[in-house]
Structure 1
Amino acid sequence: MSTAAPTSALATEALEVLRELTGRPDAAFREGQDAAVAALVERSERALVVQRTGWGKSAVYFVSTALLRRRGAGPTLLVSPLLALMRDQVAAAARAGIRAVEISSANATEWDDVAQALAADDVDVLLVSPERLTNPRFREEQLPGLVARCGLLVVDEAHCVSDWGHDFRPDYRRIRDLLGTLPAGTPVLATTATANERVVADVAEQLGAGGVGVTTVRGPLARDSLRLGVLRLPTDRARLAWLAAHLGDLPGSGIVYALTVSAAEETASLLRDAGHDVRAYTGRLDDADRKDAEEALRENRVKALVATSALGMGFDKPDLGFVVHLGAPSSPVSYYQQVGRAGRAVEHADVLLLPGPEDLAIWQWFATSSMPREDHAAAVLSAMADAKAWSVARLETVADVRRSRLELLLKVLAVDGAVERVQGGWRSTGRPWVYDADRYARVARTREAEQRAMIAYARPVEEAGCRMAFLQEALDDPTAAPCGRCDVCAGPWYPTEVPAGAAEAASAALDRPGVELAPRAQWPTGADRLGVPVKGKIAPAEQVDPGRAVARLTDLGWGQRLRTLLGDDGVGGTVTLDLEAPGIEEDPDAAFDSKDPAAPHDSQARRGPLQRGRDVPPDDELLRACGRVLGAWDWAERPAAVVAVPSRRRPRLVAGVAQGLARMGRLPYLGELSLSHGGPTGGPGGNSAFRLAGVWQRLVVGPELRARLDELGPVPVLLVDDLADSRWTMTVAGRELRLAGASRVLPFALALTA
């Protein structure tokens, strides 16, 4: 490990630049910063800097950029993982007198201006996402010139390069190819705060491809300002009640992390009802709303943002006073990265983890989210053998995989050189591709070990060791030692009681059932290629109305109870459209949409043997919740009859709910639709086109049901099922009822997966 200091002449000049950039005449380099600058500027080396959040990694590349520009070098190319992080870096550069610009989806109207500024050499730093490297226009029009002129390449959050990194991003692996195109002697800097020895070795190996030397600057990772704790409470109600009662006691302003979008939104709503000024921050916000929320927290206009991992690496607030997690991330390394947002410019900051019973189910998806399936890859490559450009929508008709997984698979195949992104979609390169089963198995085992480590971190005080030392050891920090501040070293610093009033308010909020079930309005692209002769908009006379469900499976309160009731489906349902994986690029050029991972689907796809959930009739509490949902439903016409979707897995539950609602509403129960052609087919993990094909013409209005509908005439019908995800079961069943004479179909499900 080389950490040579700069020569006296460079040291003097570098210190002058640092003081100019910071505006502080007394500014001085922290240990290791000057060594990294020397490696880049004096020796044109490649450097890997692994230092805690707040150490000043940006100072290294800003000072190096200024020094290299003085020496006639071209602009710095900075690969940065998130749009929000780019915003922070551009702002920080401006404060330091560095002319920085970005090329991203957020400023597409400014690309021509950026190109002109680059051509005029008026740009010191250009920021791009790793996904931008795959964009055909950028790759053809901008990248060759940038590579030829690049004075310094910076890879921020470099742990994303590694398979072993806690938020590996396939497109980061392209950086190794980019390194091979740089002119000889171009310095390269990679930075991260969250890398253990395995990740450091992997990133250093990739940086040093071709035998180039790599200087590694690594420092201690302990954060003296952080006071860590773990509070284990028995229920989601207790956790929310504790937070509502004690959020105001936490210092300054901060972040409350939740694992799902709906949990973040629900928690923010409950905290606002309790009188706290908070906002929800998720991937569902548009860019303008995200910026506004970030500024509100920076300016302390809110007590907290209740956020998913969308607010992760991309947020910089040095005086952040606390970070609370409602549910644990899937690894101690990821946890360290998120809590590292706090306490960077204040003496004390509080960090508290409130683990939940749903954590493990969410981790199980994250553990394999970047792993392609061999059969999916084979189907895609076989279809693309014609060497034509294939859109993602067209590929959905050849591989039964959800769009998010399909786009991730295309990224992996592109990084491995088997396909390439072109105008109009993706095209095969003709290069052979072999599924690396051993590699994916090794990564999966690593993810499982990280989960076990996170469980160990979250042990009760009486069973745990120092919390900070645990995180340091997870990052292979040789300086790990008891911190003297955490709840293990110094005793619990947080109150443990849950006030009765707060508990009652949380219970009232969580017991409030009812979410909308949006109807399908458009047939999926390519359905006709799967034998379903439909396309375009669904005819108004065949559509269902907006429906209702008791809860989303990702919801707190009723969502958790329904997960228990629905067994395996409930477990899988916690990790569907509602999640946001850490570190995912918000740019549309990033094809991986973290809000749409694969998961179990509509009840039509789950008619196999019962595994964990038991088929039992609904209890009175569930029926009362269903009744409250119907009572609050602002339908245009009240239903005049009830029909059930046939279930081979939970017939007693589905029929019981349908019959119970009929009794409560004093409506006739007309029975179930009939199964045709063996009933619905398909399984979990598929996409919209395949889900439609799996249910098409397999749910029909049988003779008895048709006769009952004829007796009633054209009336609105309430259609009942247990679980809705893709919504094609409800759409097709409702269409059959409309064609059989129902004037409206009002879908009702116990749970939505998203």
Structure 2
Amino acid sequence: MAGINMFFHQNRAIELLRQGSGNLQANFRDGQEEAISHIVNGTQRLLVIQKTGWGKSFVYFIATKLLREAGFGPTLLVSPLLALMRNQIAAAERIGLKAVTINSENTDNWEQAEQQIFSRQADIILISPERLANQDFVNRVLSHIASTIALLVIDEAHCISDWGHDFRPDYRLIERIIKNLPPNLRVLATTATANQRVMDDLISILGPNIHVSKGNLNRPSLTLQTIKLPTQTERLAWLAEQLPHLQGSGIIYTLTVRDANQVAEWLKSQGFNVEAYTGESGDKRIELENRLLCNQVKALVATTALGMGYDKPDLGFVIHYQMPNSVVAYYQQVGRAGRALPQAYGVLLNGIEDDEISHFFIDSAFPKSNEVNQILNTLKQAPSGLSLNELQSQINLSKGRIEKALKILSLESPAPLAKQGSKWQLTTAILDQNFWQRIERLTRLRYDEHQQMKHYVDLPFGQHMAFLIQSLDGNINQVTPPNLPPLPTVANFNWIQKAQDFLRRSSIPIEPRKQWVTGGLCQLKVGRNIQPEYRAEVGRALSVWGDAGWGSLVKQGKYQDCHFSDELVVACAAMIENWQPNPKPTWVTCVPSLRHPDLVHNFSRRLAEKLNLPFYPIIQKVKETQPQKSMKNSNMQAHNLDGVFQLTHNPKQEPVLLIDDMVDSRWTFTICAYLLKLYGSGAVFPVALSQTSNQSG
């Protein structure tokens, strides 16, 4: 080929920028042109650290187009989120690049995508980091094109770093791949969120000959504010009161899926055009992203599932319903607002549950030593290996905890276990002590980052941007004062009352289980499927355990008063009357307890009186068991209750309300409903005072 300095042509690069952006007057931002030239003309690796909206994707798209026009092979882009991939494909096509993706959600298109790759039609190949852990993909696709790849792009590169706020275990494979790459292969890593510690880590991983391009982190259009509103009712009220006064559309971030759904439901009930967006939104996610993109909703109430890579430059606000875990995570999320606007708000609401939620996420981020020991010791007893389901049946850990431990352990080098087909087996490798030291170090770091966010919340108005930039090791001399006035810091009493009424009117469906655990239950003598005639109906829970609304009163009744108040009886009766289960129940029974024999029995009797229905406590508990909340997965929960209940009398052959104080795993309701139906009862409608967050399956 001709001399290497011939590949970057400034006029062609500008032409591609304007074509891709749809703006015929567009010009490169500071550093963009230099980054493209560096990639195309040089062989030194490049780490680009630039704020959200700077245009990192234009750098690798234009570089790819110039390299392809010069006769080079395709670009391999490793990207962590599917939403990011969808945006990337659309953007690539605008400058004439053929982009293909292979990920877990487009399996139907894999064959076509692979044909385009092998026939060299693909200019840019987008994969998730998890594909790198799939040996079939590596052998069938990656190994055949590795020698032709002209550029490797690692998007959201902070995920490589153990120190990164969004560390992804599969990104560790990139570190190993990098070490085996030809030293002259072009490598571009990009991120918007890297402090010096993460940057040093990335430099050590990506190679000593890497060049770093770091831009100005200040966001002059963004007015930041923190507001302490301890209760959920105050924050719901504040949102409903302030949302009409916020310009444009935006994102309201929550820490949990349940909160995203609850906040969206509240705002909808007050007439706002909002939708919930979570990892459970499934096929609706593309539609929801587009509706926000086209300003067809006022806001998406989202978890971090709507995060990296979502590209809407005219977001007028980003509000956090709760406090994120770290400054870098917060900077990335709030930085979605005001990228192409002169003014935008970034508001963080701080509640009393924030610490508890954050501590849960930090404590559950990595496997515990007792969890790892249980898994390794169980596999040691099974030389031919065990599937995930088989592990669940032998280990009292949740499916998620087992999966997380297996994933992280399998990515160690050398790994103490490996997957063969559907089964996990031990290898000859011994888990290094450095593994536990690294986890301890990272956990300690995350608590430090959480404390840093608590300092951020306490700052007076006008000091927030400087704090963020200083925490990210940026230049605080570039910070400008806020250009919007602060928003009110208290909620109107009338709105608080409306929010309280909303929370107390809400109820949570209890979906019936449709299958027994694998292998069935021996004493109950049941197999796999629960036949429809033996299933419970969809039930209702009055509240979420300990939550605003009725949840805190349920908690007080169970553990302080040892008696559920008449107020809860009235509320539960009102819920049932509003629900109107069909066919209408004609009698009431309850789940018995040996530890607290009077608690649920007494409540159920008073509820039956309130509903003017007869109360027949015909279910008997014949042996004590461990509390269901101590059973960590569905197998353990079901087996813990096998043979525990029986009926003292045959039930009335009419519909019944089945009452319990809490629903954890749903197995108690499932088994009691099965027994009632087996012996002739009509439809069984479960009713619980509270749903806990411990539900499985």
TM norm structure 1? 0.84
Amino acid at match of 2:431: W
How far apart, CA to CA, are the structure 1 residues paired with 2:272 and 2:628? Answer: 46
SS at match of 1:511: helix
Tell whether 2:471 aligns with 1:474. Answer: yes
How far apart, CA to CA, are the structure 1 residues paired with 2:354 and 2:348? Answer: 12
Contact 1:545 1:747 in 2 (8 A): yes
How far apart, CA to CA, are the structure 2 residues paired with 1:173 and 1:273? Answer: 45
Amino acid at match of 1:723: M
By how many angstroms is 1:46 displaced? 2.2
Aligned match of 1:133: 132
- Select which of 680, 684, 692 maps to 1:745: 684
Q: In 2 relative to 1, CA 203–266 (structure 1 residues): closer, same or farther, beyond 3 Å?
A: same
How far apart, CA to CA, are the structure 2 residues paired with 1:38 and 1:12? Answer: 6
Aligned match of 1:718: 657
Contact 2:229 2:490 in 1 (8 A): no
How far apart, CA to CA, are the structure 1 residues paired with 2:246 and 2:144? Answer: 50
Q: In 2 relative to 1, CA 481–40 (structure 1 residues): closer, same or farther, beyond 3 Å?
A: closer
1:275-290 paired onto structure 2 within 5 Å: 275-287=271-283, 289-290=284-285
Aligned match of 1:606: none
- Select which of 233, 239, 256 maps to 1:237: 233
Aligned match of 1:123: 122
Contact 1:261 1:282 in 2 (8 A): yes
Tell whether 2:384 aligns with 1:396. Answer: no
Q: In 2 relative to 1, CA 498–382 (structure 1 residues): closer, same or farther, beyond 3 Å?
A: closer
Q: In 2 relative to 1, CA 457–527 (structure 1 residues): closer, same or farther, beyond 3 Å?
A: farther
1:351-750 paired onto structure 2 within 5 Å: 351-385=346-380, 386=382, 388=384, 390-416=386-412, 417-434=415-432, 436-459=435-458, 461=460, 466-479=463-476, 483-485=480-482, 493-496=486-489, 498-499=491-492, 501-526=494-519, 534-540=526-532, 542-553=534-545, 557-559=549-551, 562=554, 613-633=559-579, 634-646=581-593, 648=595, 653-671=599-617, 673-680=619-626, 684=630, 686-701=632-647, 706=648, 709-710=649-650, 713-739=652-678, 742-750=681-689
Contact 2:50 2:215 in 1 (8 A): yes
Aligned match of 1:577: none
SS at match of 2:213: strand
How far apart, CA to CA, are the structure 1 residues paired with 2:41 and 2:499? Answer: 60
How far apart, CA to CA, are the structure 1 residues paired with 2:275 and 2:150? Answer: 41
By how many angstroms is 1:418 displaced? 3.0
Aligned match of 1:588: none
By how many angstroms is 1:256 displaced? 1.4
Contact 1:642 1:719 in 2 (8 A): yes
Q: In 2 relative to 1, CA 554–164 (structure 1 residues): closer, same or farther, beyond 3 Å?
A: farther
Aligned match of 1:343: 338
Of 218-227 and 273-282, the range deviating more from structure 2: 273-282
How far apart, CA to CA, are the structure 2 residues paired with 1:77 and 1:548? Answer: 49
Contact 1:513 1:558 in 2 (8 A): no
Amino acid at match of 1:444: T
SS at match of 1:105: coil
Contact 1:646 1:673 in 2 (8 A): no
How far apart, CA to CA, are the structure 1 residues paired with 2:687 and 2:123? Answer: 57
SS at match of 2:247: coil
Deviations 1:641-699 (A, max 9, x none): 32233162x65643342232122123444448544444236764611001112222234
By how many angstroms is 1:535 displaced? 3.0
Q: In 2 relative to 1, CA 96–437 (structure 1 residues): closer, same or farther, beyond 3 Å?
A: same
Deviations 1:35-66 (A, max 9, x none): 43344333322222221111221122123222
Q: In 2 relative to 1, CA 108–713 (structure 1 residues): closer, same or farther, beyond 3 Å?
A: closer
By how many angstroms is 1:219 displaced? 2.2
Contact 1:367 1:444 in 2 (8 A): yes
How far apart, CA to CA, are the structure 2 residues paired with 1:554 and 1:87? Answer: 39
Aligned match of 1:223: 219
How far apart, CA to CA, are the structure 1 residues paired with 2:331 and 2:426? Answer: 40
SS at match of 1:48: strand
How far apart, CA to CA, are the structure 1 residues paired with 2:556 and 2:181? Answer: 55
How far apart, CA to CA, are the structure 1 residues paired with 2:43 and 2:598? Answer: 71
SS at match of 2:106: helix
Of 278-287 and 554-563, the range deviating more from structure 2: 554-563
Of 71-80 and 181-190, the range deviating more from structure 2: 181-190
CA RMSD between the two structures: 2.9
By how many angstroms is 1:183 displaced? 3.3
Deviations 1:236-276 (A, max 9, x none): 22322222222121111111122222322232233233232
Q: In 2 relative to 1, CA 415–244 (structure 1 residues): closer, same or farther, beyond 3 Å?
A: same
Amino acid at match of 1:198: R
Aligned match of 1:173: 172
Deviations 1:213-248 (A, max 9, x none): 222222221111101112223532232222222212
Aligned match of 2:104: 105
Amino acid at match of 2:550: W
How far apart, CA to CA, are the structure 1 residues paired with 2:236 and 2:225? Answer: 17
Tell whether 2:305 aligns with 1:318. Answer: no
By how many angstroms is 1:192 displaced? 1.0
**Identical-residue share of aligned pairs (%):** 39
Amino acid at match of 2:511: A
Amino acid at match of 1:658: S
Deviations 1:91-121 (A, max 9, x none): 1111222221211233222222211211222
By how many angstroms is 1:525 displaced? 2.0
Q: In 2 relative to 1, CA 653–509 (structure 1 residues): closer, same or farther, beyond 3 Å?
A: same
How far apart, CA to CA, are the structure 2 residues paired with 1:82 and 1:336? Answer: 18
Deviations 1:380-439 (A, max 9, x none): 334445564643222212322212222212211221133344543544444333463222
Amino acid at match of 1:375: N
Deviations 1:713-753 (A, max 9, x none): 44544332222121112223333444565444332211113
Contact 2:631 2:637 in 1 (8 A): no
Aligned match of 1:53: 52
Amino acid at match of 1:84: A
Aligned match of 1:569: none
SS at match of 1:396: helix
Aligned match of 1:114: 113
Q: In 2 relative to 1, CA 735–670 (structure 1 residues): closer, same or farther, beyond 3 Å?
A: same
SS at match of 1:393: helix
How far apart, CA to CA, are the structure 2 residues paired with 1:219 and 1:10? Answer: 27
Contact 2:524 2:643 in 1 (8 A): no
Q: In 2 relative to 1, CA 527–419 (structure 1 residues): closer, same or farther, beyond 3 Å?
A: farther
SS at match of 1:231: strand
How far apart, CA to CA, are the structure 2 residues paired with 1:39 and 1:719? Answer: 69
Amino acid at match of 2:372: A
Contact 1:551 1:559 in 2 (8 A): yes
How far apart, CA to CA, are the structure 1 residues paired with 2:266 and 2:629? Answer: 36
Number of aligned positions between the proteins: 683
Contact 1:532 1:693 in 2 (8 A): no
Of 625-634 and 9-18, the range deviating more from structure 2: 9-18
Contact 2:7 2:67 in 1 (8 A): no
SS at match of 1:525: coil
TM norm structure 2? 0.90
How far apart, CA to CA, are the structure 2 residues paired with 1:273 and 1:118? Answer: 49
Tell whether 2:263 aligns with 1:267. Answer: yes
How far apart, CA to CA, are the structure 2 residues paired with 1:219 and 1:653? Answer: 62
How far apart, CA to CA, are the structure 1 residues paired with 2:441 and 2:153? Answer: 29
Q: In 2 relative to 1, CA 632–408 (structure 1 residues): closer, same or farther, beyond 3 Å?
A: same
How far apart, CA to CA, are the structure 2 residues paired with 1:8 and 1:542? Answer: 73
By how many angstroms is 1:468 displaced? 0.7
Amino acid at match of 2:537: D
Of 500-509 and 126-135, the range deviating more from structure 2: 500-509
